[in-house]
Structure 1
């Protein structure tokens, strides 16, 4: 009776065994390692200044370039300040007035010197005009200094205005919009998420016995699951210098070129490991 039960159990196990371990095989088999394609980086775009969102130029799924303005905060005050500073920076009246006075005083000094030589002018008059000319020179220098200061203030106000223009720091695609028009943004509040997908990364954990076989710059075959169902070349970019003692594995990072944007981040993948070295 016991022998019959054992035979029956063995037959059942031989039938269902492949199904029990079929899902595990792809992830635990020594020759393969499971992975996930992910963007090179994903940023949570925020703002360095507070303000109300006045315009939004992109939406979820929009492709953006580095330096592109993706949103704009309310800039009413900043624009008015820029116009005021520009008016001051471009105003030459103080310098022109001082130069005009100096020109008059120089002509008057020339006349007084001629009269002094003919004993028709006081020495005191000549000294007074020379002092006025020196004061005019100081006025010109003060006007030039004030105009330079106004130009610097204009540059500062223009920079403050630019802070209200939210720009993308990377080339990528907008994956999420977190704030909309009319909402207030703070320094701790991201406005949107942008993923850089022209290069994709995949991290895999490899048994420690492969450590001496894998080198930075090596090419490995990366098999992508549905919906791509294809194999692409991936370069080893980083090899961790530490082995995890608990799992006896180490991590490597693979880089996949996606300049044509034909691959999808988030797709599961498998990497075929090289044949093990035998002693």
Structure 2
């Protein structure tokens, strides 16, 4: 191939190149959300009454079943005592009815009483047994009412707020204590719909709560809701975070890092290889070897995903092409180039292909 003009006569421009690679697309997807508690409740009494004692205050840690507030139980206890006395009375009346019925059975065997009298005494036993059962049920109900004068914690957590004081009268709909579970927090993340197939339940994620100043916590996706928000074009990913140490609290903001990997391989190049055109579109420069050495060749490309200083190339390049990532700002078509020695650090080491291209150009780098 013969190039004519000033471009051909100019000294070669030093450039840096990398290979176009075919690999599975990997990216870190950062999404943001707020830590919340899976259990946050305002507790109300199960019976109305006068507050006798308050055993907790805001900030207290409580266990499930622990008593938080006690209502005055004087009247309820008196009612229970009355019912228990009635149960004892009914039990005695049943015993007497059973004794009389047994006596009637013996007399009837000797034809000393009529069958009608025997049937009456048997019926009295049934009546007294039913009365005893009714009173036992009423006493059991009253015991439950008495127990309900204590408001207990339905789950372990932290008292968010105390809403009543001793001496106040509360109805069954009156909130008395705010309780929130904090040992295990929840984070609901709205993920873009294009990642629906990439995010699965069980996949590991990293969480960076803002309050921990960059510290990372390991977690996993617990639930992926297979329904999307039609307006926002998102779906729900739910993550639970262990907080046994108590370093986090509901309401904190946090960033979730999802490591996304595509199942198929794609062409990937560094973002530095891209040259934006004033009229729109994107091109890259690649290095080709000809009769007169190395030349810069322009390629129009179409792009896909972009992340972590890398871009996906949908068309315009092939695996193994060498794209220019440094020195491509002012190249012209057919311009002679030479390859710079790779820099130390994260840049790629020189390959055998680099060396052979430099030899074909007649330069030593």
Tell me by how many angstroms 1:226 deviates. Answer: 2.6
Gaps of 5+ in 2: 1-27, 267-313, 315-365
Please provide the CA RMSD for this pair. 2.8
Q: CA deviation at 1:71?
A: 1.1
| Counterpart for residue 76 of structure 1 | 74
Aligned residues: 237
Superposition deviation, residue 177 in structure 1: 0.8
CA 1:152–1:218: 2 relative to 1, 3 Å: same
Q: 1:86 aligns with which of 70, 84, 87?
A: 84
Q: Secondary structure at the match of 2:37?
A: strand
Q: In 2, Cα distance between the equivalents of 1:127 and 1:46? A: 62
Aligned mates of 2:97, 2:205 — CA distance in 1: 76
Which position in structure 1 is the counterpart of 2:325? none
Q: Could you tell me whether the CA contact under 8 Å between 1:228 and 1:263 is conserved in 2? A: no
The structure that is strand-richer by fraction is: 2
Q: State how far apart, in whole Å, the 2-side matches of 1:207 and 1:103 are.
A: 82
Q: Are the counterparts in 1 of residues 199 and 260 from structure 2 also a CA contact under 8 Å?
A: no
Cα displacement string for residues 117-157 of structure 1 (whole angstroms, at most 9, x for unaligned residues): xxxxxx8xx245x5544433332332222111111111111
Partner Cα separation in structure 1 for residue 227 and residue 118 of structure 2: 78
- In structure 1, what is the Cα distance between the partners aligned to 2:69 and 2:238? 34
Higher helix share: 1
Match of 1:272 among 257, 264, 281: 257
Partner of 2:203: 218
* 8 Å CA contact retained: 2:198, 2:260: no
**Residues 1:148 and 1:242: Cα distance change in structure 2 (over 3 Å):** closer
The TM-score normalised by the length of structure 2 is 0.57
- List alignment gaps of at least 5 residues for structure 1: 1-29, 114-122
2:236 corresponds to 1:237: no
Query: Are the aligned partners of 1:206 and 1:249 in contact in 2 as well (CA < 8 Å)?
Result: yes
With the length of structure 1 as denominator, give the TM-score of the two structures: 0.73
Aligned to 2:139: 154
Which position in structure 1 is the counterpart of 2:124? 139
- CA shift, 1:106, in A, is 6.1
Distance in 2 separating the partners of 1:188 and 1:131: 56
Correspondence 1:82-121 to 2 at 5 A: 82-91=80-89, 92-102=91-101, 113=110
Please identify the structure whose Cα radius of gyration is greater.
2
Output the CA distance in 1 between the equivalents of 2:79 and 2:204. Answer: 56
